[in-house]
Structure 1
């Protein structure tokens, strides 16, 4: 169910499509395919700023680690939990011992990629029976969800639960979240969360991200904070040709020249900009607050750094020497699927979401049995180690209507307590795979979706709340192991910037201040613009509000401290 935008963009990785891909991919695994305030924290009515420190501790749920299931590879250095064993349906654990729902009706609006099934399908019926709630889905096209979301939140007809991905929180959406959605603190803060054990097992960092306007409003989808962008490579071709995985930016360039043979229609790579940012230590661009960091007492934004220019120059050089596949140079988007040409061997290395590591393996297993993809460790530049900057520990949230009566709020939490069940439980299996025999069959410990399962068990319930970030591929357990171990190695090098983990609402006047930089990055990489154009754009950014925005962020930091400490 990975959004189409994430799998078909070939003109260079889109920040939004990668966010969509990874957030949904971390939700679950189904059928062997990845599923995809005025400054200061004490003012609960605040429309801008953040809440952290002592104010947040009063709000956050008590963390109670789950003991129902033990992962084969526990989380380390910010990694996901890993499961590498076969599934035994007879040994599945029960994490929800009593039905918490009281039989009420709850409407849910959520983004959906694909064709939504009929509301009376067996999957929805089974889930609702398990939860004890009549959930009615109002699925909306995930590719145009921001438009629908804005219209609904501007109206008086808001569903009981509304799912809002982080990449849709632009413009007036954060303000609407604060004014339209309920404070869940009376139900979840402190020890109150213990009534919902699976919600209590959600990591505190994810709950910290769920504080909006001084109140706990969101039900989070936790994520690994390790970068989700992996430099994937054709391990089978590397082994056949004797290519060595590069350990530096210079080695990568030399290898890329060695691989490329334009006459034979073989190029080294796709657009490597996002790997370059991690290699050179550029502050994260996945969310605006993550781009700020305190350096020698001064807040610095990612576009002001030397590392940013160096990464762009290195990426430009790859295009300039001709080692990048022509599709990326030409800027074709929907017309050509890069995964197809990667699988065909037209290029051997490219950035993609970590979910594609498994997705490519699974899709090629039958038709191309020699195909082997792996993720290379992020390499450093200039003799230095790479510095990947941490992503946020949650990126999709479900909110409950402020006008909902207590019975509806509790039914909504009953839904979330089931959907947040960990891998290896009966609740997880039903949430992510559906009904055995109807939606999937088990073959040698591997759940295989039926056609009905592929049509009905899609991105619905997983969007309400999820367990701690998990990687599990029963059909390719070695991939799950490799993914988690990659996250752990990269996590050991990962740094957290000053506003990591905070849910920050910027003043509306700055909303569009840095919107044009991604396009300029791509133009520079392709030789259409020069580094000097970026330097001028940064200067303009400062004078048009960047310096004032820096002061605004500095005040937040002074009053709240850093969540990354």
Structure 2
């Protein structure tokens, strides 16, 4: 408990610092502060200088390469981006907000992070509602965003960001289809069939090294969204007082933890899952040492090529459509909004308008196509109506390269592989074509309340530890259930549930 209390004390200090320092920036915006450079004014040929904080998901890009040079040319902008490795984004954001020294634009993927909400409430970022109006001045933002995109970025009725548009269909629970064929196994349709299938694969020597060391399910950090959806954890569940419960504290979630405990006991989960990094899990999967993994669908073609180069020329990945224990589809959906671009209140009003014009341009179909494929002949070639990335394209056009603009919503944007041909991508779309209809969204990633933001950090670390200990067999399921029941009876959590119920109702009425 001492370690947990130390973490909580550290978090609290940071939280208070954010509140005080963000408040100090709240009255900025007079035009006399940092970031008031007039480059790119309406009617000027000078590029718009933009200082930005954004996530890094690949190698650090060379901002002078052909992709970024063309991006800046097309948008008439000069980008000065601090690229932050994705694994460090949360920590770096908290430190940035606590310092009060914000760049002009903060691009961040979790719009309900407590420190971000606190900074918004204390005036660190512009309320964009008056600027956006009816969106008539921003035709691409008006026409090309996902449904309810701006609603997801609202705080207390104000819109505080423009979205990082991403596909609602994103993650898939993958299995090695070629291994199923080799072992003459049918494609599993239910969770129990999936478990039995993993057992048969793990008991075989699929990588041919003479050992039974194949991992069944690569399970990293928290359970993939598809399992939570399949156990019904994303079905709104209310306590006896009408409060909206956190998905992780519902009976359905406890049932899922018990199921994972069974997988672990049967040797179907990696023994190191609790400390394994995504990069390590990805390497295991790409080198034919694991059967199943939950990650974005658009990696499938690239990973199949890696598997083939690792000695299995028939490697093929299939994204499963499973039915959970109570009939729920095991498909987790994104909102179509992966966080947003927040404009610091230090930026003067005139430049806010210029930045919004820039973001509107990046939401065009033209810039979105460029973000996904780059320059024809340099980054991609076209065959049978399908753009295919070249070697240079694979290097320069990636997840990170999509991080400087809104982009138009693309239904299959996280499904289509830029390195796959048309036949491959058409088949992949058909494989997951019903995901958008049967999938569910984690509503606790959409709504928030002050009580929940203040309450859950007191329990979060201990809860994660208890869940892990349950899965690996250090404590019983009954002990974990009793612990969850105890949390649900805490007055502060019950109060938070009440506020979350109100927030959910208000969100649905917007």
| TM-based fold match above 0.5 | yes
Q: Counterparts of 1:390-409 in structure 2 under 5 Å?
A: 390-409=333-352
Matched, 1:468 2:419: no
Following superposition, the deviation at residue 314 of structure 1 comes to: 1.6
Q: Counterparts of 1:516-531 in structure 2 under 5 Å?
A: 516=461, 517-531=463-477
Distance 1:526 1:155 in 2: 40
Q: What secondary structure, in the 3-state scheme, does the structure 2 residue paired with 1:253 have?
A: helix
Where structure 1 has 5 or more consecutive residues not aligned to the other structure, the ranges are 1-44, 46-97, 285-290
Structure 2 contact 188–322 (Cα < 8 Å) conserved? no
Name the residue aligned to 2:94: 150
Following superposition, the deviation at residue 183 of structure 1 comes to: 2.1
Q: What secondary structure, in the 3-state scheme, does the structure 2 residue paired with 1:247 have?
A: coil
Distance 1:300 1:460 in 2: 37
Name the residue aligned to 2:130: 186
Structure 1 residues 561 and 345: CA distance shift in structure 2, 3 A: closer
Distance 2:286 2:444 in 1: 39
Name the residue aligned to 2:368: 428
Q: TM-score, normalised by structure 1?
A: 0.69
Q: Counting helix residues as a fraction of each chain, which structure ranks higher?
A: 2
Structure 1 contact 110–460 (Cα < 8 Å) conserved? no
Q: Counterparts of 1:48-447 in structure 2 under 5 Å?
A: 103-166=47-110, 170-178=113-121, 179-193=123-137, 195-226=138-169, 228-261=170-203, 264-265=211-212, 267=214, 269-271=216-218, 273-274=223-224, 275-283=226-234, 299-328=244-273, 331=274, 333-334=276-277, 337-364=280-307, 368-381=312-325, 384-386=327-329, 388=331, 390-422=333-365, 425=366, 427-436=367-376, 439-442=378-381, 444=383, 446-447=387-388
Q: What secondary structure, in the 3-state scheme, does the structure 2 residue paired with 1:166 have?
A: coil
- 369-378 vs 359-368, greater mean Cα deviation: 359-368
Q: TM-score, normalised by structure 2?
A: 0.76
Structure 1 residues 502 and 122: CA distance shift in structure 2, 3 A: same
Structure 1 contact 420–466 (Cα < 8 Å) conserved? yes
Structure 1 residues 136 and 303: CA distance shift in structure 2, 3 A: closer
Residue of structure 1 aligned with 2:498, choices 551, 558, 563 = 551
Distance 1:240 1:99 in 2: 65
Where structure 2 has 5 or more consecutive residues not aligned to the other structure, the ranges are 1-22, 24-41, 205-209
Following superposition, the deviation at residue 318 of structure 1 comes to: 1.6
How many residues end up aligned between the 2 structures?
451
Structure 2 contact 53–103 (Cα < 8 Å) conserved? yes
Distance 1:154 1:477 in 2: 47
Structure 1 contact 113–142 (Cα < 8 Å) conserved? yes
- Relative contact order, CA 8 A, sep 6+: which one is greater? 1
Structure 1 residues 348 and 466: CA distance shift in structure 2, 3 A: same
Following superposition, the deviation at residue 317 of structure 1 comes to: 1.1
Q: What secondary structure, in the 3-state scheme, does the structure 1 residue paired with 2:172 have?
A: strand
Name the residue aligned to 1:287: none
Following superposition, the deviation at residue 176 of structure 1 comes to: 1.0
Structure 1 residues 126 and 216: CA distance shift in structure 2, 3 A: same
Distance 1:482 1:514 in 2: 44
Following superposition, the deviation at residue 408 of structure 1 comes to: 1.7
Residue of structure 1 aligned with 2:479, choices 533, 548, 555 = 533
Structure 1 residues 212 and 270: CA distance shift in structure 2, 3 A: same
Distance 1:390 1:306 in 2: 21
